[in-house]
Amino acid sequence: MKLEGKVAVITGGARGIGKASALAMAREGADIGICDLLASEGRETVEEIEALGRRAWFTQANVAQRADCERFFDEARQKLGRVDILLNNAATSVRKPLIELEVADVEKTWGPTLWSVFHCSQLAARLMVKQGDGGSIISISSVQGVRPYPLSSAYNGAKAAVIHMSRTWAAELAQYRIRVNTIEPGWIDTPGERQYASEEEIQALAAQLPLKRLGRPEEIAGLVVFLASDKDSGYVTGSSLRMDGGFILPRMTKLEE
Ligand SMILES: NC(=O)c1ccc[n+]([C@@H]2O[C@H](COP(=O)([O-])OP(=O)(O)OC[C@H]3O[C@@H](n4cnc5c(N)ncnc54)[C@H](O)[C@@H]3O)[C@@H](O)[C@H]2O)c1
């Protein structure tokens, strides 16, 4: 197993990509700490991890708030002993054009999508430096961090910042053998995405994608395991890995005869 003896903590791990990553890391031997706003889904995820024979623990927390992030790390250390891997996964987006955005919409987006990544990465890095055994900090960014898809400027800006802050931290933290990387998913079929579109709309839009389907949370989780594992990615830091089924590629067009 690739992550035996490791402890991973995950923000927003109650469902979607965070939950799939929690289960995938547990299958590779890691013990798992999760926080989320959603208490019952968080506890269900913990039960599924425990059924795999790993230790798991959940706390309800709003990672937009520094105090909640500090409590998450303090409790994680008490319950699980240490932290070797951080997955910054929680995020949210208010989708509106610039001219309609309220300051409150931007704050609502940046709290979990940007500030939580700063808070949790800093807390994880401080702890990992003290532990002295290196570590892996992984943040879920997005293809929207590199392509300016309309109606999501607050989210796009936050995801771009996550990529660039992570590269900076990779440079600062390499001396402690702490690797810092980001993942840019394309369109992944999660409960969060299902809030924005019906099944019919999803199928119609998926047919226009190069690979004709949405990605699965388990596929992103495979990349999380890769970046978490020193065996697989011990020489990878400051990278942003895209898994988007070709989402951002130019589309083929039929040339006129
Ligand atoms: N699904 C996609 O198409 C897609 C594409 C690119 C990037 N992403 C990114 O992947 C990550 C996971 O997205 P998902 O699609 O699985 O979403 P999701 O909404 O299904 O899951 C996100 C989880 O984060 C939690 N969360 C949100 N705000 C929080 C807060 N303030 N404090 C604690 N927990 C909070 C939610 O309760 C939820 O359980 C996000 O960073 C998202 O931006 C998703």
pLDDT of residue 256: 61
Mean pLDDT throughout 116-120? 99
| Catalytic residue (choose from 149, 155, 176, 196) | 155
Q: What is the pLDDT of residues 134-190, one digit of tens each?
A: 999 999 999 999 999 999 999 999 999 999 999 999 999 999 999 999 999 999 999
Q: State if residue 38 touches ligand 1 by the CB under 6 angstroms criterion.
A: yes
Residue nearest to atom 33 of ligand 1 (CA): 36
Q: Which of 17, 93, 241 to mutate to test the pocket of ligand 1 (most atoms within 8 A of CB)?
A: 17
Q: What is the pLDDT of residues 203-223, one digit of tens each?
A: 999 999 999 999 999 999 999
Q: Which long-range contacts (CB under 8 A, 24 or more apart) does 72-81 make?
A: 72/9, 72/11, 72/33, 72/35, 72/120, 73/9, 73/120, 73/123, 73/124, 73/127, 75/33, 76/7, 76/9, 76/33, 77/127, 79/33, 80/7, 80/9, 80/31, 80/33, 80/55, 81/7
Q: Can you give the pTM of this predicted structure?
A: 0.98
Domains present along the chain, CATH in parentheses: 7-242 (3.40.50.720)
Place of tokens 């995820």: 45
